[in-house]
Chains A and B, each alone.
Chain A
Amino acid sequence: MLWKEAEYHGWGRALSAKGEIARPERVAALKALMKDGLVPAVGMRRSYGDAGLNDGGRVIEMSRLDRMLSFDARTGILDVEAGARIAGIAAAFAPKGWLPAVMPGTGFATVGGCIAQDVHGKNHHHAGSFCEHVVSLTLMNATGVHEVSPKDTPDLFRATAGGLGQTGVILSARLKLLAARGDVMIVTERRVEAWDEFLALLDASAATYSVGWIDATARGDALGRGILEEGETGSGLVPKRDKYRKVPFNAPHFALSGPVVRAFNNAYYRRVPESGRTIVKPISDFFFPLDKIHDWNRLYGKRGFHQFQCVVPLGSAPALRDMLEDIANSGLASPLAVLKRMGPGRAGYLSFPMEGYTLAVDFPNRAEARELIRKLEARTVAADGRLYFAKDSLARGEDMRAMYPELPEWQAEAAKADPKGELLTDLVRRLKLRSA
């Protein structure tokens, strides 16, 4: 059958949709599916909220159109289909000395998804966002199949980069890969005792890749304590990673309750010796630490979870500290909390990054947590910060729209590419991105 009736959800499992899904395995089949009209494309549905959902409508899953088509070793440009996973590209190319220039926190993300959210990685402060390394892409929309590039079609490119799939279905892309020294990571981990020290270390870090894990349960003097990880690619030999583990069932709600998380975080913090350490890891362990556990989103139980992620300008660091204090005092945080310094790099009208600090924290889907997230969102607005479409499931449309001043330019391009509004997703409808 071409279309399968299914109920499906975002990665956070808090939002879900019912509708028909097709999963073409050939380009011709994809085009046939859209001969009577456009259909929103989705990848591996790693967006936490509803960016990949179309309740009551149809979506096309691109994951089987995942071939790497060609590579030019002189220019480092890879031609690849939109359904290819970032981890697959990294695994094939790292031994040859190349890596995707930007890799998000999960290797399951598809090329098409990375473009549609203009994702960032642990090297954002140097390398910028994903779409800054997209040389061109092939896009199918209401006006046909187009080659889109920053040089020749800058407006459509800016509307497609981070464009939430609203300018058409991305078929393939030319990515400029980054020369890497090898397929292992040399990682320096150090304990950071408190918030101010964390910011100072992030500001001073000269490493190519850097990311901070924060113990979002620590309060008082220990507020903002965590581990700073700095990495460089290198060559060498490391043992192959263990087999993937699976989470076979939805965990009970107390699995990530306050005391459990506090104990876990404490142990996780002390795992790194006081004097720090430098270790060698397979690249996938450094870039995609959670991918080792398949379906880890089930650890939050059947109610699912939300991720709050904001970025605030450098000058608003105190506001970010206030947010962390709210989180720590709430006792609602999960072990997953990340702090990073971002550079200014962004490629699209709706790209998330801005120069500043970004904080991402997971919360179980409970009324208190939703209330806390709303408070954090209000603080983000006050701090001139921005929320991330890839993560959001709770924001108010007017807040979100105000964070993206280039929204009108994006709307104009989306209206040209999809005049009938066939590509709307639940996210776009919820936040009234194309209508308001």
Chain B
Amino acid sequence: MNSTWIILGATSSMARAFARAVAAEGSAVLLAGRDQAELAALAGDCVLRGARLAEALEFDARKPKGFAALIERMAEEEGELNAAVFVGSMPEQAAIDADPALIDGVVTDSHTGPARFLQMLAPLIEERGGGTVVGVGSVAGDRGRIGNYVYGSAKAGFATYLSGLRNRLTRAGGHVVTVKPGFVDTAMTWGLPGMFLVASPEAVAADILKAVRKKRNVIYTPFFWRYIMLIIRHVPEFIFKKLSI
């Protein structure tokens, strides 16, 4: 398969599992993130699992000056170009309450940074007449909750952006998959109280890859989160505002 995936935020465990899954299919993987030592280790791993090529690249959602170099690097690869966005940050709500300036960083990491990158990539996908963008949002974006509404609002914005991008790329033969994971067993959720039905990063990666193949638009992973969120979205606001879930 002559396809290339750029993976933004490739050091997260979900991204790592996804990179390994596409590597095993023989794709080229461009692993973009901040921790170059970690990315180099993952690149070695991807090659040994079957990637046609694996490279570690610098990506920081807050440093958009670096985006152009990534787009150029992608353009060098022939065939289908794809992108998977796993970036985002979630400081504790209490920390944000103490320092509201943190909101800018959350929105940049989870929404505007990756959106700006995808906006630069979109013409290339249109030019090639195909390719898939995977955007990882969160169930937290489906409704603002007291525990993480800043993060949730950034993910909601990103989901709306992805919906529009899907509308645009579909016309050129491209596709956008919006992924909304529930609780995933990662460093971010390790030891947090109240976790239930936690999915492994590998299971989430397999779900994403299946959604890419089937050209699904919006997926929840694991699937039952669709129903959990359906209920949560339909709780009337006059009740919801008193809940702390």
Contact = CB atoms under 8 A, between A and B. Distances in A.
Instruction: Determine if chain A interacts with chain B.
Output: yes
Nearest to B186: A25
A29 interface: yes
Contacts of B83: none
A69 B191 contact: no
Contacts of B13: 25, 64
Nearest to A71: B48
Interface in A1-35: 1-5, 22-29
- Residue among B13, B16, B44 with max Cβ neighbours from chain A (10 Å): B44
Contacts of B49: 68, 92
The listed residue with most B CB atoms (<10 A of its CB), out of A4, A5, A67, is A67
A62 to B, nearest CB: 14
B98 interface: no
Interface in B160-197: 186-187, 190-192
B48 A92 contact: yes
Contact of A69 (B11, B44, B50, B187): B44
A70 interface: yes
A67 B187 contact: no
A5 B42 CA distance: 29
Contacts of A70: 44, 48
Interface residues of A, number: 24
A26 B11 contact: yes
A35 to B, nearest CB: 17
B192 A26 contact: no
B150 to A, nearest CB: 20
B38 interface: yes
B192 A1 contact: yes
Contacts of A362: none
Contacts of B45: 67-69
B58 interface: no
A29 B48 contact: no
Interface in B6-28: 11, 13, 16
A24 B41 contact: no
A81 interface: yes
Contact of A68 (B48, B190, B192): B48
B35 interface: yes
Contact of B187 (A3, A25, A68, A79): A25
Interface string B42-54: 1011001110000
A3 B191 CA distance: 7
Given A69-B44, A69-B45, A71-B48, A29 B187 contact: yes
B141 to A, nearest CB: 23
B37 interface: yes
B35 A28 contact: yes
A100 to B, nearest CB: 13
A56 to B, nearest CB: 18
Given A1-B192, A70-B44, A23 B187 contact: yes
21 contacts: A1-B190, A1-B192, A4-B191, A23-B187, A23-B190, A25-B16, A25-B186, A25-B187, A26-B11, A28-B37, A28-B38, A64-B13, A64-B187, A67-B42, A68-B49, A69-B44, A69-B45, A71-B48, A79-B44, A81-B41, A92-B49
